[in-house]
Structure 1
Amino acid sequence: MTAFIQQLPALIGVVIGALGSYLAVVRGDRVRFQREQAARWEDRKFAVYAEYARALKRSVTLTYRVAAHYGNDPHPHPLTPQEAEPQLAEATIARDPAGEALILLGSPAVVEQARTWVVTVMEMEAFLRAGTRDPAAWQALMDRQRAGREGYYRAVREDLALPPGHSARWALTSSGTPPQR
């Protein structure tokens, strides 16, 4: 019995050490799982943010082309409203699921900036459906659209903790400088 009592402190030390090792492994696994899960969500959010921007930019590009048909925009590839209508409908249909995913996963600031941007794009579409020929009014809509896009990208960068990005406003070096898109 005395041998057992002499060995008891060592046995207690082994049990405490094993329990401590187990708790450290469990805690490390939990931290790693949470970190991996957060990274997966960040990747998914990035994909949703990019898909929404792509879907909305498709609508924007089509509006530029229709505006060129009316003489409001200098886009080099004008489209008649009749030619653009099925493409605009398709772009709008593609925008809806991208918007729903954005609402589901996006931060409130990103969703609000997305709303600002899409409302301006919808105003651009309405401007063209009305057949308006007013380059100055169109320019004002384009400026608002650019500001909406910049606000959206700024909010996305803040939400994903990305560094500041480029404004995407640059002039091409050619004989005629096209408007900044």
Structure 2
Amino acid sequence: MDAFLQQLPALLGVVIGALGSYLALVRSDQARFRREEAARWEERRLAVYSDYARSVKKTVTVTYRVAAALGCGTHPDPLPLDEAKPLLAEANDGRDPSGEALLMLGSVEVVDQARAWVVTVMERYVREGQRDPESWQALLARQRAGREGYYTAVREDLGLPPGHSARWRLPVTEPVPPQR
């Protein structure tokens, strides 16, 4: 019995050390699991945000083409409204599922900005056949501001640094003189 009592402090030290190692390992695994889970949700939100932007952009591109056909825009591939109607319907049908996913996974700010962007999409303008280049340019500026607000909200939600405004400044080119 004396030998057991002499070894008892060492045995208690081993038991306490093993218990401490086990608890440290469990806490470490829990923290890693939470980090990995947060990363998975962040990846899902990024995919939802990207899908939604792509679906809105499809409608925007079709409206650019129709506006060019109406004489308001400068898209290189003008498209008459009659030919654009099925493309607009397809773009709207594609936007519905991505919009629902956005509502489920998006932050309040991102969803609000998405709404502000989509309501400025110029579909109604081109469906009505308007031909006022000045009002088209104003609508175009509002749509671009809506898109910029959406991307800003997405970056803030995902903890990304500020990004590009997507307002491309094209270099002014001098006309090439005709060759003789």
**TM tier, smaller:** over 0.9
Task: Give the deviation of 1:171 after TM superposition.
Answer: 2.7
Secondary structure of 1:120's match? coil
The aligned counterpart of 1:144 is 142
Query: In the alignment, residue 12 of structure 1 is paired with which amino acid?
Result: L
**Percent of pairs with identical residues:** 68
Task: Give the deviation of 1:175 after TM superposition.
Answer: 4.5
Among 140, 156, 164, the alignment partner of 1:158 is: 156
- For residues 97 and 77 of structure 2, the distance between their equivalents in structure 1, rounded to whole angstroms, comes to 28
- For residues 79 and 156 of structure 2, the distance between their equivalents in structure 1, rounded to whole angstroms, comes to 37
> Deviating runs (4+, > 6 A) in structure 1?
none
Task: Give the deviation of 1:131 after TM superposition.
Answer: 1.0
1:8 matched to 2:18:
no
CA RMSD of aligned residues (A): 1.2
Secondary structure of 2:120's match? helix
The aligned counterpart of 1:86 is 86
Task: Give the deviation of 1:166 after TM superposition.
Answer: 0.7
The aligned counterpart of 2:170 is 172
The aligned counterpart of 1:56 is 56
Query: In the alignment, residue 50 of structure 1 is paired with which amino acid?
Result: S
Query: In the alignment, residue 131 of structure 1 is paired with which amino acid?
Result: G
- For residues 136 and 17 of structure 2, the distance between their equivalents in structure 1, rounded to whole angstroms, comes to 73
- For residues 125 and 167 of structure 2, the distance between their equivalents in structure 1, rounded to whole angstroms, comes to 24
**What's the TM-score once normalised by structure 2's chain length?**
0.94
- For residues 61 and 142 of structure 1, the distance between their equivalents in structure 2, rounded to whole angstroms, comes to 11
The aligned counterpart of 1:77 is 77
Q: 5+ residue gaps in structure 1?
A: 177-181
Query: In the alignment, residue 48 of structure 2 is paired with which amino acid?
Result: V
